[in-house]
């Protein structure tokens, strides 16, 4: 585990109940744990979070590497929330919790007697965050919602890929991760408010709305022109050239996304005639003649390698970069200096690779305080902390609180 800091972590003494599975909810709660929160992961007995058994390859133990990368800094408690005894335990935990995050189908916990209206009666300052595919209300609310559906139904997939190509989704789960971030922004704001007023609130976060919120440029393009945006590959709707370009040994990315950089690019490439070409005189004309612009520039780019052009463009102050695979990106000296791969000690796996912290805090840097938990690893520890005796645990176990 990483060393401690002089100052307490920002969320020390904040208790979070994580009643979520797969990605958006667990990722959000892990971020809270990284900043010091005591995150108690409530899991179904037997199977636990379904991500424990995901991915197409096996580790030494039963948990997938995906689970191990979204659940550090948590403690695991197994509860059968369909049993009266399991509900009793959750309600007891909720009395002293600050935040609850769940991603059940809309209305599911309410039907089980564990909705916000019930929990706020026993803990008025609780911030109760629900993450779902399409939100808690509306015609699509009851649909199962995953990142793929959110990308498809929000419009994001309609602008991803190349013109006339089959549908393409973003290569990373933008709706899942984005929803986690939006949910945490709202949750922490509500938590601060509850500290000031003593009153928590209910937060409704959805993958669908997250994906729509990401579409600023595309939506403004549609509202401004009246024409639905179309996929443009690596190009940009606001400026050109700003995209991947072919060269003699593959592709690289570059941008001359304002008039000053456009002039510099033409001079660097010894293509000053392009400055007088009426198709390319300003951004609007370059956008209107995007393919012709790419064809002209690639005539020059194809005369040399990607390394050559990236180095030349950067030396002239023009944005450019190679297109790296994940091994190349994580293996880069920059990613190493920025700590984007770290290793966590795990009781079964030994050293487990984890993606590093994406932002850095100078005074209270995030810490790995706990390995991703084994299923039910902290049942007795957590429940004894809230005053339950061994006799209480035995009674609850016999009543099915922790599964059959």
* CATH (domain of 294): 3.30.1540.10
**Residue 233 maps to a domain:** no
Query: To the nearest 10°, the Cα dihedral for 77, 83, 84, 88?
Result: 10
Write the DSSP assignment of 333-399 as a string of letters.
HHHHHTT-EEEEEETTTEEEEEEPPSS--SSS-----SPPPPTTTTHHHHHHHTT--HHHHHHHHHT
What is residue 5's predicted lDDT score, i.e. its pLDDT? Answer: 47
Instruction: Name the average pLDDT for the chain.
Output: 95
Query: To the nearest 10°, the Cα dihedral for 392, 396, 402, 404?
Result: 140
Residue 149: C-alpha distances to residues 133, 159, 209 (Å): 8, 15, 12
Domain that holds residue 263: 242-324
**Residue 341 maps to a domain:** no
Tell whether 177 and 278 lie within a shared domain. Answer: no
Tell whether 203 and 261 lie within a shared domain. Answer: no
Tell whether 248 and 369 lie within a shared domain. Answer: no
Tell whether 208 and 246 lie within a shared domain. Answer: no
Is 16 within 8 Å of 97 (Cβ atoms)? yes
What is residue 1's predicted lDDT score, i.e. its pLDDT? Answer: 45
What is residue 404's predicted lDDT score, i.e. its pLDDT? Answer: 75
Q: Count of domains in the chain? A: 2
Tell whether 46 and 164 lie within a shared domain. Answer: yes
Provide the edge-to-edge strand list for the sheet that holds 320-322.
242-247, 250-255, 320-322
Tell whether 133 and 178 lie within a shared domain. Answer: yes
Tell whether 206 and 256 lie within a shared domain. Answer: no
Torsional sign, CA 384, 388, 389, 391: negative
**Residue 230 maps to a domain:** no
When pLDDT is cut at 50, 70 and 90, the band that residue 196 belongs to is: very high
What is residue 64's predicted lDDT score, i.e. its pLDDT? Answer: 96
Tell me the two tokens of residue 333: 């000296």
What span, in angstroms and rounded, lies between the C-alpha atoms of 320 and 312?
9
**Residue 141 maps to a domain:** yes
When pLDDT is cut at 50, 70 and 90, the band that residue 56 belongs to is: confident
What is residue 6's predicted lDDT score, i.e. its pLDDT? Answer: 78
Encode pLDDT of 11-55 as tens digits. Answer: 999 999 999 999 999 999 999 999 999 999 999 999 999 999 998
**Residue 260 maps to a domain:** yes
Tell whether 36 and 184 lie within a shared domain. Answer: yes
What is residue 2's predicted lDDT score, i.e. its pLDDT? Answer: 47
Torsional sign, CA 186, 196, 358, 38: negative
Tell whether 290 and 379 lie within a shared domain. Answer: no
SS3 labels along 144-209: CCCHHHHHHHHCHHHHCCCCCCCCCCCCCCHHHHHHHHHHHHHHHHHHHHHHHHCCCCEEEEEHHH
pLDDT reading at 4 higher than 90? no
Q: What are the catalytic residues?
A: 176
**Residue 353 maps to a domain:** no
Q: Which of 309, 324, 339 lies at the terminal end of a domain, its last residue?
A: 324
Encode pLDDT of 253-286 as tens digits. Answer: 999 999 999 999 999 999 999 999 999 999 999 9
Tell whether 302 and 158 lie within a shared domain. Answer: no
Q: Which of 324, 347, 378 lies at the terminal end of a domain, its last residue?
A: 324
**Residue 10 maps to a domain:** no
Tell whether 370 and 315 lie within a shared domain. Answer: no
**Residue 291 maps to a domain:** yes
Tell whether 158 and 279 lie within a shared domain. Answer: no
- CATH assignment at residue 117: 3.40.50.10540
Which residue in this structure is represented by tokens 């096996």? 58
Encode pLDDT of 293-313 as tens digits. Answer: 999 999 999 999 999 999 999
pLDDT reading at 386 higher than 70? yes
Q: What is the mean pLDDT of residues 86-98?
A: 96
Q: What is the mean pLDDT of residues 44-72?
A: 94
Is 309 within 8 Å of 301 (Cβ atoms)? yes
């Amino acid at each position: 585990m990483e060393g401690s800091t002089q100052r307490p972590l920002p969320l020390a003494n904040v208790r979070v109940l994580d009643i979520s599975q797969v990605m958006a909810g667990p990722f959000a709660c892990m971020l809270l744990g990284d900043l010091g929160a005591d995150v108690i992961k409530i899991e179904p007995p037997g199977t636990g979070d379904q991500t424990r058994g995901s991915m197409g390859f096996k580790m030494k133990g039963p948990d997938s590497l995906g689970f191990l990368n979204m659940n550090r800094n948590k403690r695991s408690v197994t509860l059968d929330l369909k049993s009266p005894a399991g509900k009793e335990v959750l309600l007891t935990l909720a009395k002293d919790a600050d935040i609850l995050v769940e991603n059940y189908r809309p209305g599911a916990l309410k039907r089980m007697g564990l909705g916000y209206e019930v929990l706020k009666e026993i803990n008025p300052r609780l911030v109760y965050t629900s993450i779902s595919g399409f939100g808690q209300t509306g015609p699509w609310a009851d649909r199962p919602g995953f990142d793929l559906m959110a990308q498809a139904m929000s419009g994001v997939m309609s602008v991803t890929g190349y013109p006339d190509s089959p549908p393409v989704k973003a290569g990373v789960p933008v709706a899942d991760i984005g929803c986690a971030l939006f949910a945490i922004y709202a949750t922490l704001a509500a938590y601060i408010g509850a500290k000031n007023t003593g009153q928590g609130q209910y937060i409704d976060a959805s993958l669908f709305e997250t994906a729509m919120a990401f579409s600023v440029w595309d939506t403004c393009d549609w509202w401004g022109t009246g024409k639905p945006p179309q996929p443009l590959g690596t190009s940009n709707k606001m400026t050109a050239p700003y995209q991947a370009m072919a060269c003699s040994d593959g592709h690289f990315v570059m941008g001359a996304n304002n008039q000053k950089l456009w002039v510099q690019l033409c001079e660097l490439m010894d293509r000053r005639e392009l400055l007088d070409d009426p198709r390319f005189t300003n951004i609007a004309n370059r956008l209107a003649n995007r393919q012709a612009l790419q064809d002209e520039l690639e005539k020059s780019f194809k005369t040399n390698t990607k390394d050559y052009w990236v180095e030349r463009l950067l030396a002239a102050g023009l944005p450019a970069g190679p297109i790296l695979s994940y091994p190349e990106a994580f293996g880069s000296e920059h990613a190493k200096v920025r700590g984007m791969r770290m290793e966590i000690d795990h009781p079964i796996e030994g050293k487990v690779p984890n993606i590093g912290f994406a932002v850095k805090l100078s005074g209270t840097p995030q810490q790995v305080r706990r390995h991703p938990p084994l299923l039910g690893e902290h049942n007795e520890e957590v429940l004894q902390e809230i005053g339950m005796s061994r006799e209480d645990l035995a009674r609850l176990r016999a009543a099915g609180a922790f599964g059959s």
